[in-house]
Chain A
Amino acid sequence: MSLTLEQVRRVAHLARIEISNAEAENTLGHLNGIFTLIEDMQAVDTRGVEPMAHAQDLAQRLREDRVTETDQRAAFQSVSPETEGGLYLVPQVIE
């Protein structure tokens, strides 16, 4: 199979990565090479094989419902691009 330029733009939009026309063209070539490699998988008959999501077939652990973390808001917000009064600032979304 072969991707189209439109599909590359669409996926870039889904992934929220701005992509120029030149970049999309270049990426298309690389992705098609990679998907040729990936297509190799389709030769395998996997009917009846249980998909393996994880190296250890574990159930998620549950923990006691109690407070385990201390308040570190100031420390964690100190690495943010923009905060004010303990809030993260982003461009206005709702008028």
Chain B
Amino acid sequence: MITHGLKALAQALAGKRISSVELTQLYLDRIDRLNPVINAFITVDAGKSLAQARAADALLAAGKGGLLTGIPLAQKDIFCAKGWRTTCGSKMLGNFISPYDATVIAKFDAAGAVNLGKTNMDEFAMGSSNETSFFGPVKNPWDITRVPGGSSGGSAAAVAALLAPAATGTDTGGSIRQPAALCNLTGLKPTYGVVSRYGMIAFASSLDQAGPMARSAEDCALLLNTMAGFDERDSTSLDRPTEDYSAQLNATAGDKPLAGLKIGLPKEFFGADERTGCSPDVMQLVEAALAEYRKLGAETVEISLPNMKRSVAAYYVIAPAEASSNLSRFDGVRYGYRAAEYSDLNDMYSKSRAQGFGAEVKRRILIGAYVLSHGYYDAYYLQAQRIRRLIANDFVAAFKACDVIMGPTSPSTAFKLGEKAADPVQMYLSDIYTIAVNLAGLPGMSIPCGMASGLPAGLQLIGDYFGEAKLLNVAHRYQQVTGWHLQHADGLA
């Protein structure tokens, strides 16, 4: 049962082969046993989860259940959930019990899903290894001496260790796709504006986007159906017609179901440039996946994203600038941590923030405050925004020649805990393939494409604006003829 996809779980629930309470308890027992090793969850509240499961069972018994009714899901601890401790991986919010629900949480509640607990993450989603969490690092279930990726590392590890059938994540520079790649999951970052950011603790507001992390494209589609949609509480939410993301999964069929599909391969991903250099074992698996796509009828064409190589630099101006503004709300007055001793109001702010934030968060706030300060704004912030435009234009031009862009998600498989923790620049460069997608606001996915020395690697799929259904179809077709996504870390039992 614990390796079932969401559809199979829904059928088991509908067919009364298991109740939601039993299913939830099954996962809670696994969390109890394995979370001390993996550290994927920050907060588990069996009482709350089981109460939701009982309500779901009542709905199912009355024949009023939907596809997600009674299904337990792990929620990244960046989403405010009413009555739940919501920490964002920070000491600053270590005692914050949210008085309200994020829209994503409210939508899952309305669908009858069960909140299984809040997953660990890099502090305020700032990190690529889950090592910046105040609540300790998450271990990769495939090798517990390695990182799960970040910032949605707890969500990725929870699903990979079979502690949850699926989870939510958020992606500002790769935080869904990179951990999905490192933990053998299917993860989707939608087009900016498709999923509401209301109640999702803000890091870089023009880049943050929530999405599903699961074991298949099929499961991601099902979750996105619930997550997506216009929300008047989010000023950048897009008001567009509702889509059924599952409907296109099987839109293509036959021997060559992807005949006519043009896959763009950026020469900047596949070239030998040292900065963007991908480890040979990951590249080999990506090439093998592309060969599989050709067998499915797709054609590959070379494209160019010439400004891609500037994306990390532009991102580390724009994201910290937005973060320094967003995180100014943590002042020890209305919520969050307040220092025990201080002399006056300014001292209270400075001490509360110094003690409440971790080192990486402070670094990014300082970078942001600097690039926004008088005399530097044009040289850094405006220049970064101009490069952002050039990067977005590169994608617009590329999508005239192809339908979907592919390449590696991460330049390596999971690295060792501590390996990059001392050098922020090395850590930042691990998101070299994913960041440009956020700057442009495009949808991106990572799907499992094989194992290198027992560690999973991810293939990244980048779509044109609102191309989620197309991406899911392209991913699903690959998953119909390969079994990489079905492999799970069984070393933990």
Contacts and interface: CB of A to CB of B under 8 A. Distances in A.
B333 A80 contact: yes
Nearest to B192: A55
B383 A27 contact: no
A81 B379 CA distance: 40
B357 interface: yes
Interface string B429-449: 000000000111100000000
B390 A49 contact: yes
A17 B334 contact: no
B310 A54 contact: no
B384 interface: yes
Contacts, number: 169
A16 B333 CA distance: 14
Interface residues of A, number: 51
Interface string A1-26: 00100011001111111110000000
Given A11-B373, A17-B354, A19-B354, A51 B386 contact: yes
A52 B392 contact: yes
Interface in B321-365: 324, 328, 331-338, 342-351, 353-354, 357, 362-363, 365
A61 to B, nearest CB: 6
B345 A90 contact: yes
B335 A46 contact: no
Given A12-B366, A34-B367, A60-B235, A55 B207 contact: yes
A50 B383 contact: no
Given A30-B363, A34-B428, A80-B334, A52 B388 contact: yes
Interface stretch (B173-181, B296-304, B312-320): B312-320
B476 to A, nearest CB: 26
A75 B99 contact: yes
Interface in A41-79: 41-42, 44, 46, 49-56, 58, 60-61, 63, 72, 75-76, 78-79
B422 to A, nearest CB: 9
B248 interface: no
A18 B235 contact: no
Interface in A23-43: 27, 30-31, 33-42
16 contacts: A8-B366, A16-B349, A17-B366, A18-B353, A34-B424, A40-B309, A41-B317, A42-B383, A44-B310, A54-B236, A55-B207, A55-B439, A56-B236, A72-B100, A79-B99, A80-B333
Interface of A: 3, 7-8, 11-19, 27, 30-31, 33-42, 44, 46, 49-56, 58, 60-61, 63, 72, 75-76, 78-82, 88, 90-91, 93
